[in-house]
Amino acid sequence: MGGTARRRLLVTACALTVLAGPAAGSAYAAPGDREPVRGGSELSLEDVQKEVARLHARAESATDAYNGAEERAEKQLKAVKKLTKKIKVVGERRAKYKKTAGALARAQYRSGGMPDEARLMLRKNPESFMRDAVVMRKGQRAALGVITTLARTKSQLDEYAEEASSKWRKLEADRKLKKASKKKVEQDLERAEELESRLAKDELEKLRQLEDEAAWARQSQWLKSGVLDEISGKASKAGKRAIAYATNQIGKDYEWGAEGPRTFDCSGLTLRAWQAAGEEIPRTSQEQWKQLPRVPIRKMRPGDLIIYKRDASHVAMYVGGGEMVHAPRTGRQITIEGAGSLVIKGVVRPDK
């Protein structure tokens, strides 16, 4: 390494050490880390690359939490609005029947409080008796119906109010989670950007080269396993449409929380691609992993979704030939890379 390049690395390392804390010679660590990246005061580009990758990985996990909270909050809000309408309708019906019950009570009061049966027995002739008996039975059935409806509407109102209250509490919880996740994403991305901003141009290029080399090493290892020899599935018609949509987005920027059409995050891209193919799938990569049918890697076919990372926080679309299309991370664009360039968790199929 030349003297100039080494001096740059030393300056960078010193600057990063200052960021870690006031103590001289302390190890660099991002805020909240439990362990330092490396002991001593000097960081190599490899250390910086690992730290940047870790921060972006953590930001992506928080992005998935943010997207999930946002989706749930939207559903809860719709449910609360629907229940509010139901409460209004039932409330109006209850008010109507309360008015009717009030009228019946006033009529009873005007008759002096004498029971209907007693008034019936005082009729002067059989014809009046029979006529009034029919009217009385109808009146009793009507009164019973009013009372029953009042009780039922009261029960419905209580049920809807309790359900609305429960959904509102969940809505508030998801809003808090969304806010916390947003803050975490922004903090981690800001930290990663700060790290990269302290590198010289040639060091940034080297940093990108290190990332590419690491990805290629993983892809080479994956290919050496012979897995590609076993993958021979053909894309379905819907899969071809999803691939066409996803590959048409190549070159567009990654943006966390985005679902297109100008920018996407990883699951936002797969969501829109499969919507374009006529299939509705979950919004987040973690829910895609949980809810969609899983298939063995050897039975993978173009259009299937490859889930990455232990927490299933990244997703890509297999396009065939051992490659995938995905939205990598902040600062990168949608691209095609080796399907094994990241650690594969599993594969799911949107179209059964």
Q: Which residues are catalytic?
A: 266, 314, 326
> Dihedrals φ, ψ of 335, to 5°?
-155, 170
> Dihedrals φ, ψ of 22, to 5°?
-75, -20
Cβ neighbors of 347 (< 8 A, separation 6 or more) are 294, 295, 296, 297, 300, 304, 305, 306, 307, 318
Cα→Cα distances 191→29, 30, 56, 90, 298, Å: 11, 8, 9, 53, 39
The DSSP string of 189-209 is HHHHHHHHHTS-HHHHHHHHH
Q: Residue holding tokens 């749930």?
A: 72
> Which has the closest alpha carbon to 65: 168, 170, 180?
180
> Which has the closest alpha carbon to 198: 46, 333, 59, 45?
45
> Which has the closest alpha carbon to 318: 342, 296, 347?
347
